[in-house]
């Protein structure tokens, strides 16, 4: 029997749910469908903005808190923004780290 738990090293958030501005050291809440386990701090988790199905790598976060609701089948928590990528790094990450065909291009 397969597991219902998904292990993630990437926190993918819709553009409308992203904090603005992205400021290092700030804490923000997140909510994702599914039962997920993110790497806990101090291990980095990539922060990705989802734009029309494309992945835009924005930086790195530390997951400070995560709660799994098995009835609603969702994961929510708090992350701390650790690193915001410069444009050249972001574009390289989009090309090299996104799943095939999913890297955001401006």
Burial label, 59 (beta-carbon count in 10 A; 0-12, 13-18, 19+) = buried
Q: Does the structure show a pLDDT above 70 at 8?
A: yes
Q: Does the structure show a pLDDT above 70 at 1?
A: no
Residues 68-105 have pLDDT tens digits of 999 999 999 999 999 999 999 999 999 999 999 999 99
Residues 50-73 have pLDDT tens digits of 999 999 999 999 999 999 999 999
Element (H, E) at 82: strand 74-84
Give me the pLDDT at residue 5, please. Answer: 85
Mean pLDDT of 37-51: 96
Ordered by where they begin, the domains of the chain are: 5-96 (2.40.240.20)
Structure-token match 């992350």, residue found? 79
38 band by pLDDT with thresholds 50, 70 and 90: very high
Helix, strand, coil percentages for the chain (3-state, nearest 5): 10, 55, 35
What one-character-per-residue DSSP string does 41-81 give? TTS-EEEEEEETTEEEEEEEEEEEEEEEETTTTEEEEEEEE
Top pLDDT among 84 and 1 is at 84
Give me the pLDDT at residue 6, please. Answer: 87
């Amino acid at each position: 029997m397969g597991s219902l738990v998904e292990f993630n090293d990437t926190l993918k958030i819709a553009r409308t749910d992203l904090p603005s501005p992205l400021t290092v050291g700030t804490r923000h809440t997140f909510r994702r469908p599914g039962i997920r386990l993110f790497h806990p701090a101090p291990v980095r988790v990539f922060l990705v903005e989802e734009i029309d199905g494309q992945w835009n790598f924005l930086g790195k976060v530390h997951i400070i808190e995560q709660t799994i609701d098995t009835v609603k089948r969702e994961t929510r928590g708090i992350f701390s923004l650790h690193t915001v990528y410069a444009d050249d790094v972001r574009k390289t990450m989009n090309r090299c780290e996104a799943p095939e065909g999913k890297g955001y291009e401006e």
